[in-house]
Amino acid sequence: MIDGFNRTIDYIRLSVTDRCNLRCRYCMPPDGISCLPMREILTYEEIEHLCRIFADLGIRKVKITGGEPFVRKNICHLIRRIKQIPGMSGLMGVLDEKAAGEVWTYEECTAYVDHIHEAGLECEVIASVNVHEDIKLGLPSRDEYIDNYRQTVARLGQAGVKVICYNFMPVFDWTRTDLAKPRFDGATVLAYDQSIIDCITDPQAFADRIQQGAGDFEMAGWEPERMAELKKLFAQYASVSHEDLFRNLQYFLKAVIPVCEQYDVKLAIHPDDPPWDIFGLPRICTNAENVRRILSLVVSPYDGLTLCSGSVSSNPCNDIPAMGREFGAQGRIHFAHVRNIRFTGPGQFEEAAHFSGDGSLDLYEIMKAYHDVGFDGYIRPDHGRMIWDEQGRAGYGLYDRALGAVYLSGLWEALEKGSK
């Protein structure tokens, strides 16, 4: 789908291999992993066929993931073939091969993006460059990690990246209590139940449970190197208040945003998910009031928001269309994650299909808010059900997000034509 500013808004993720030529301690277990036999991995012809089907349905950008995608033989040939599919224009990058705080060099950034550019595709959004815990904690060592972050921003800017999504959640990234809750339609979804969280006295046991539920897939935001330090991190955060976190975020932004301005890269903070404190850890990107405060910490058009409808709306008091209009009109939303959730009780919700009738959110009103303010950022479908017996990283199934992209495309087309 193309919006009024001639930009694409639809994405899918395709894993082309589970193999990797790196042995990073935070990713690869000491004993290695059991790789799938090649007969169980999609052939290039099958991948291209899928891309053609999804392109006909409105998909415009493909995220090539792995493993390490470039260890698969002739991967550049596949990328060139994807480019030849009508409607495909770009890939959205994911920098998750290094631990938070490490520098992505100029050579690594350009190699990552150039492989995509050589096929005639765009790579303008990176999700995400994670923030080291020492920065959030405000430790003396934060300056080293902030300098590393500044270097990575500069290198990505030199490589042509326009938006970097990040979050400032202490310890845990997005949190769920069930990675595969069965639904009435036979699908499984991510789900959250605050009553389960309230009964947990050992966060380490909870983290182990999440990792076990993820199977062979590493959960974004739950990287092994972070989980290995849980006891230490909880002790460090014991004295960190919400005000401390605001101050530490401002310190970080004051150092990084000037580099963003210099290299024309917009920084977009992702809301906390769920948007309230968990396990006694403070969370600050939780509602419109706090977002206003965050965006006032450093007043720059390069300092902005990734407005995620599912994350913010898990608190029913938050009004996503209103936030879209307010912050979109200010030009401070740089990236929009549009998805649906279903409320199942107080402090309880589960992921849903993007179709409004399947959940509790009105996606038409959400998309209309973006359309009404002339939104010129990037939009993507996000999360969803695991359907059609797909096996993959929980919450990031390909098929349901492809359906979501088509649904969002239809909403946008209706808004475009209805406004003429």
| 183 pLDDT more than 60 | yes
- Give alpha helix (H) positions in 160-269: 194-198, 203-213, 224-227, 230-237, 242-263
How far apart, in Å, are the Cα atoms of 194 and each of 155, 165, 200, 201, 217?
Answer: 41, 27, 10, 13, 24
CATH code: domain of residue 321: 3.20.20.150
Comparing 100-114, 293-307, 364-378, which segment has the lowest mean pLDDT? Answer: 100-114
Contacts of residue 189, Cβ cutoff 8 Å, sequence gap at least 6: 180, 181, 183, 350, 351, 352, 384, 385, 386, 395
The residue among 207 and 340 whose pLDDT is bigger is 340
Comparing 69-73, 85-89, 232-236, 304-308, which segment has the lowest mean pLDDT? Answer: 85-89
Residue 241 in tokens:
């208040």
Domain that holds residue 211: 126-418
Confidence of residue 29 (pLDDT cuts 50, 70, 90): low
pLDDT, residue 26, reads 47
Q: Is residue 209 domain-resident? A: yes
Q: How many beta carbons lie within 10 A of that of residue 30, not counting itself?
A: 6
Determine the average pLDDT of the residues in 140-157: 95
Q: What are the residue numbers of the active site?
A: 270, 308, 337, 382-383, 396
Residue 411 in tokens:
């909403």
Q: Is residue 9 domain-resident? A: no
pLDDT, residue 86, reads 54
The residue among 123 and 280 whose pLDDT is bigger is 280
pLDDT, residue 83, reads 58
| 79 pLDDT more than 70 | no
Q: Which of 314, 268, 274, 310 is nearest to 291 (CA)?
A: 268
Residue 354 in tokens:
């993007």
Contact present, 129 and 146 (Cβ < 8 Å): no
Highest mean pLDDT among 8-17, 186-195, 213-222: 186-195
Q: Is residue 46 domain-resident? A: no
Domain count, the chain: 1
Spell out the long-range contacts of 257-262 with Cβ–Cβ below 8 A and sequence spacing 24 or more: 257/298, 257/300, 257/302, 257/303, 259/150, 259/153, 259/154, 259/157, 260/153, 260/157, 260/300, 260/302, 260/303, 261/300, 261/302, 262/154, 262/157
pLDDT, residue 217, reads 44
| 214 pLDDT more than 60 | no
Residue 36 in tokens:
């799938």
Q: Is residue 116 domain-resident? A: no
SS3 (DSSP) at 355 = coil
| 358 pLDDT more than 80 | yes
186 Rama class: left (phi>0) / alpha (psi -120 to 50) / beta: left
Q: Is residue 90 domain-resident? A: no
Q: Is residue 142 domain-resident? A: yes
Determine the average pLDDT of the residues in 240-249: 98
Determine the average pLDDT of the residues in 120-143: 89
Q: Is residue 288 domain-resident? A: yes
In the chain, what's the furthest Cα-to-Cα distance? 60
Confidence of residue 113 (pLDDT cuts 50, 70, 90): confident
Percentage of the chain modeled with pLDDT above 70: 78
Comparing 94-108, 362-376, 387-401, which segment has the lowest mean pLDDT? Answer: 94-108
Q: Is residue 113 domain-resident? A: no
